[in-house]
Each structure stands twice: as C-alpha cells, then as structure tokens.
Amino acid sequence: MRHWLEIFYRTSAGTLLRRRELNQDDGKKRAALAALTHVEDGMALGVGTGSTVDFFIDALAERPHRKLRLVSSSERSTERLGRLGLDVTELSAVGDVDLYVDGADEATQHLHLIKGGGGALTREKIVAGAARKFICIVDDSKLVGRLGKFPLPVEVIPMARSFVARQLVKAGGQPVWRQDFVTDNGNQIIDVRNLDISNPVEMETRINQIPGVVTVGLFAHRGADLLLVGSAEGVEIMT
Ligand code: 5RP
C-alpha cells in the first residue's frame, strides 16, 4: 500500500485520491458481503447508514431473504432500500432486532466506534441498542489505535447548540457547528476535534450528560459485537 501511495504522490494529488477511493471501496464491499453471510430468513434486521452500508443494501437486494423485517437507521437508507424493492418496518412494530449491520468512521480493536459522519448517529444508536447482535463493517482505513482523529459528532437540540459547544470546550475539545445540516430528527450536529478519547466509555457518559445533547457519536457502552474489516487482501474478523 505504501508503495503505490508514493508512486501516486509523485504524479498528482487528484490521481492519488481516486486510487485511494477505489481501494477503500474494495474493502467496504468485502466487509459488506461478509456481513451478508450472517443474515438469515425471518430475521428482524437493522440497516445502518453510509457508503459501506450502501454496498450491504445492494447485496441484500440482489440476494433477497424470506420474511425479513427491515428496520432502517435513516431516511437515506430507507430511500435506498425502497428503491430496491425492500420495505422497511417501524422499530416499534418489530421489537428487538436480531442483527444490526452498520459502518463507522473509526473503530478500535476493542470494538469501540465513532459514528455519525453521515449525521444518522441517533437512530443508529437506537437500533444498535435494540439489537441482539451488532456487526460493524469498515474498510481498513477506519481501524485506529485510539479514537478521536475523526471529529466526534454530537447531535444537539438546536436551542442548546452554543451551550453544549461551551461544555465541549471545557471537556477539552474544539467544537465546530456542521452548518446547513439538519438531522432526520430536526436537530443539529456539532463536530468535536482534538478530544482526548483515551477512555471512550467515560467520554461517552460525560458528553451524554450535557443538557441539550441528544446523542454523542461514541459507541463504547454499546460497541460492536463483531467488527469486519475489509481490505484489498480480504476480511479480518475482530470480536
Ligand atoms: C453515519 C455513520 C456511518 O456509519 C459512518 O459515517 C461511516 O460511513 P461510510 O461507510 O460512508 O464511511 O455513522 O451516520
């Protein structure tokens, strides 16, 4: 990998980016196809959000299962599922979810995650919480030793945005309002840089306790049960 990075740096940044995206997509697709092997007829299946999950949705539509009940974590995924002829059921009508499949912006070997790059963190956390099993699918660029290089998304009630931002500064972060973005729940997102997330469980608890926070995109209390890491070489399984 390092080899082709060096080669493409010497040509042009644009070419490098395209090559890297191709490589990443390969890993995403492999992880998504690996997750599909865990889907069984009759399951209540939670479907996450993002470009990695898009591969999962497309593969699911190509190989339909009988009597699946699908619960979606976003309007975006609901729309894609519907376009491919897959109907979605309300979580309240399904009860517990047998399996939840979703991507992540960062993941550790302890199966702690940062999620919410696509802004769907709240519904994702709800479906993950309702799931007996949560399989996270990522390409290998998402695997990190410590969470926090990716800005941590926090969904907030609009009137609380500035107050929450000040509390996040006290927690050591640099909050940035994700402007021109409204979540599926009508709320706003603050992306927080430079937080020390050496203890993801503690940080999740701390941020969740700030009044006005709807959800923090740390998935540590309820991390993944299985992490499937796709790369050009294959799929690594982490438990
Ligand atoms: C959306 C998410 C996504 O899972 C996360 O952003 C990863 O997305 P992608 O698969 O496109 O890299 O949390 O809210």
Cβ 121 under 6 angstroms from ligand 1:
yes
Residue 10's pLDDT is: 36
Cβ 114 under 6 angstroms from ligand 1:
no
Cβ 215 under 6 angstroms from ligand 1:
no
Question: What phi and psi values does residue 54 have, to the nearest 5 degrees?
Answer: -55, -40
Distance 106 CA to ligand 1 centre (A): 9
Q: What is the torsional sign of CA 87, 101, 20, 113?
A: positive
Residue 20's pLDDT is: 56
| Domains detected in the chain | 10-143+221-238 (3.40.50.1360), 152-219 (3.30.70.260)
Cβ 27 under 6 angstroms from ligand 1:
no
Residue 2's pLDDT is: 29
Cβ 117 under 6 angstroms from ligand 1:
yes
Tell me, yes or no, if the pTM score tops 0.75: yes
Residue 117's pLDDT is: 97
- Closest residue CA from atom 5 of ligand 1: 104
Count of C-beta atoms within a 10 Å radius of residue 5: 13
Distance 10 CA to ligand 1 centre (A): 30
- How high is the mean pLDDT in each 10-residue block of the chain (239 residues)? 31 47 87 98 97 98 92 98 97 96 98 98 98 98 98 98 98 97 98 98 98 98 98 95
Known catalytic residue at 124: yes
Cβ 139 under 6 angstroms from ligand 1:
no
Rounded to an integer, what distance in angstroms lies between the CA atom of residue 74 and that of residue 235?
Answer: 26
Residue 65's pLDDT is: 85
- Closest residue CA from atom 6 of ligand 1: 117
Residue 22's pLDDT is: 59
Residue 23's pLDDT is: 83
CA 227 to chain centre: 12
- Closest residue CA from atom 7 of ligand 1: 104
Catalytic one among 124, 202, 204, 233?
A: 124
